[in-house]
Amino acid sequence: MMMIMMTTTRRSLRCSRLRCPPSAHHSLSSSSSAAAVESERTIREGPRNDWTREEINSVYQSPVLDLLFHGAQVHRHAHNFREVQQCTLLSIKTGGCSEDCSYCPQSSRYNTGLKAQKLMDTDAVLEAAKNAKEAGSTRFCMGAAWRDTVGRKTNFKQILEYVKEIRGMGMEVCCTLGMLEKQQAVELKEAGLTAYNHNLDTSREYYPNIITTRTYDERLETLQHVREAGINVCSGGIIGLGEAEEDRVGLLHTLATLPTHPESVPINALLAVKGTPLQDQKPVEIWEMVRMIATARIVMPKAMVRLSAGRVRFSMPEQALCFLAGANSIFTGEKLLTTPNNDYDADQLMFKVLGLTPKAPSFSEEAAGDIVSERCEQEEAISNVG
Ligand code: SF4
């Protein structure tokens, strides 16, 4: 009898909570943290680019489980939470780079034992793209260790051909070739390039500690050329460079206040390489990644947030936390440019165990964006009715 009464009381408590008006739910949950308040606002009002650094900092500093929960909510609202994009990154020209990025084994200034290689030939690149496609990858990214492509006319023309061919194979194509000029961005777009990767790496303030051979503004200029050419922007950063939390917030603030959010935001955890100035940095912890990913998800809801370099150090349950927090893209393939990456079979198993499905390629990001906002509006209408 006692049992029945307890069950009934519990049930009626739950029922009365469920029956209360939506506004009451809102006030109950929003009292918990900035992550709760801002995620509800993001779901209600959609993406915005007038974030203050303080607002993003408050989200970032929310209790980590609350941040994770609200990152997951925004993720489910703006994306199919089961879909994860698989991108394969190939270094088509390795090492010998004139830049001094202090995390990078490809800089010619550091003695990392890396063997420099010229631009790969057509057969080798197309073979790699074909293999990536067969392994389930829908986006093929080509990276070249250059400061820029100015004065590399022959190589650049060659890369335009690679872009055309790979696009013709039904894959999305991305490049990361260093700084781009306006005209080069236009030519890449005409060749069929889907996205261009150019990371900001860290905050404007911390940046000079990491790179001195090009400025933050030069990086932003390349992003602007990419955007103006109609190519999707892929830009994120690296944590574990010795930066403070406010630099992580600063990076997200710069990205989230661009006139249009990047379509892809890679979040990398430094893999310290012997011989680079950052060789002794201590590894990034999973909760630092979760904070970055969930905050990125809340402040840039439509972006593909990519769990990138450093994934190899995280176990499957740790990666699951990242997907829950809002990551929906990974790099697959043996290597990430020159550093090790997760094993193919381990990734296949992870997709199976976590119930993830590979995201199909999308050749019209704008149309996809419209669908997302339509879905958001419909869901909002439904929740208002409820
Ligand atoms: S990150 Fe790119 S630009 Fe910097 S040193 Fe490495 S290859 Fe060169």
Alpha carbon distance 342, 278 (integer Å): 22
Alpha-carbon gap, residue 170 to 264, rounded angstroms: 19
Q: Are 332 and 87 in contact (CB under 8 A)?
A: yes
Tell me the catalytic residues: 97, 101, 104, 141, 174, 234, 306
Amino acid 371: pLDDT: 33
pLDDT less than 50: residues of the chain: 1-30, 365-386
pLDDT tens-digit map of 185-233: 999 999 999 999 999 999 999 999 999 999 999 999 999 999 999 999 9
Q: Where are the alpha helices (DSSP H) in 92-201?
A: 122-134, 153-168, 182-191
Crossing angle for the helix pair 34-45 and 286-299, nearest 10 degrees?
40
Using the atom order of ligand 1, give the atom closest to the CA of residue 144.
7
Domains and CATH numbers, the chain: 83-360 (3.20.20.70)
pTM (two decimals): 0.84
Eight-state DSSP code of residue 318: H
Q: State the pLDDT at residue 381.
A: 34
- Rounded to the nearest angstrom, the distance between the alpha carbon of 122 and the centre of ligand 1 is 23
Place of tokens 């439904």: 382
CA of 285 relative to ligand 1 center, distance in Å? 24
Task: Measure 75 CA to ligand 1 centroid, in angstroms.
Answer: 32
Residue 380 is predicted with a pLDDT of 40
Q: Which helix (H) or strand (E) holds 361?
A: none
pLDDT tens digits along 303-340: 999 998 889 899 999 999 999 999 999 988 666 667 77
pLDDT of residue 135: 84
Q: Which atom of ligand 1 is nearest to the CA of 99?
A: 5
Q: Residue 334: what pLDDT?
A: 66
For the chain, what is the mean pLDDT? 86
